[in-house]
Amino acid sequence: MNPTDGVISEAWGLYKAHWRHLLPIALVVYLILALATLLLALALTWVGVILGLVISIVGAFWVQGALTEAVADIRDGKPDLSMGETFSRVQPRLGAIIIAGLLAGLGIALGLVLFIVPGLLLLTWWAVLIPVVVLEQRSAGESFGRSRELVRGFGWNVFGVIVLTFLILIGVGIVLSIVLSPVADWLQGFLSNIISGTLTTPFIALVWTLLYFRLHAVKEAAAAPAAPVAPAAAEPTVDEPPPPATPPPA
């Protein structure tokens, strides 16, 4: 069984069913980040831009972790956690999420710049990095090996899911740029970050988190010991009649 079959369609189904729960989580974070970045840039010029970039990175990883937790919550068909509970639950893992995300981003970017193929390979190996940190409560260091272990044997399939996801994101970006084209450039960038992040980040979290659960299930099934085979019942033996007695010689 290929664990990646239908993961995009399943993610889309959950997105349509639970967008009222998932989108506000992303909207709150991206709206706060956009406003904070804008105000810092206006107040502190280039220093504010740098501070805004740092805050944006932290916020982006936080919303990814929160959405991973939210996706795990709605897999039974209904959300059990409020928005505040979702963010609170992922808060203890924020440090590991940020470290793992930054290291992965640097490694993938370096691989893409140097030879492209290593970057794509690392992107595939670390596709379920954030779900591993959040759902298995692994450290940043452990999460890389664990993600690689889950993807092993399904690399090409996972890479195909990544490509499809990025094509969808590119399509959304093109549509959004057309819709916002009449708006002034500075406002276009401001709105684009908020709208794009709000609409696409929950879908990405759905795909990666569902992919994690599918890969985890396959690996667990493969590692489970096989049920012992009961020995075949011995066929009953039929006692042969004793040979006839030989009469004594006369």
CB 212 within 8 A of CB 132: yes
Examine residue 199 and state whether it is found in any structural domain, yes or no: yes
Neighbours of 28 (CB within 10 A): 15
Which residues span the domain enclosing 58?
A: 16-93+154-219
191 part of a folded domain: yes
Give 135's Cβ-side CA count (13 Å radius): 23
* Contact indicator for 115, 53 with CB cutoff of 8 Å: no
Quote the CA–CA distance of 177 and 156 in Å, as a whole number.
Answer: 32
pLDDT tens readout for residues 115-169: 788 889 999 999 999 999 999 999 999 999 999 999 999 999 999 999 999 999 9
Classify residue 133: in a domain, yes or no.
Answer: no
Cα–Cα–Cα angle for 82, 83, 85, rounded to 5 degrees: 65
Q: Is residue 82 part of a domain?
A: yes
Rounded-to-integer distance, Cα 69 and Cα 233, Å:
51
pTM for the model stands at 0.83
The CA distance from 52 to 38, in Å, is 8
| CB-based burial, 143-176: b 16+ in 10 Å, e otherwise | bbebbbebbeebeebbbbbbeebeebbeeeeeeb
| Confidence tier at 37 by pLDDT (50, 70, 90) | confident
Please report whether residue 242 resides in a domain.
Answer: no
What integer pLDDT is reported at residue 198 of this predicted model? 93
157-185 average pLDDT score: 91
> For the chain, what is the mean pLDDT?
86
Alpha-carbon distance of 147 to 151, in angstroms, equals 6
Structural domain total, the chain: 1
The span from the CA of 181 to the CA of 106, in Å, is 32
| 8 A C-beta contact, residue 124 and residue 160 | no
User: Is 121 a member of any domain?
Assistant: no
pLDDT digits (tens, 9 = 90+) for 98-113: 899 888 888 888 888 8
Q: Is residue 123 part of a domain?
A: no
Residue type, 111: G
Report if residue 241 sits inside a domain.
Answer: no
| Nearest Cα residue to 91 out of 116, 58, 113 | 58
pLDDT of the residue at 133: 94
Q: What is the pLDDT of residue 60?
A: 84
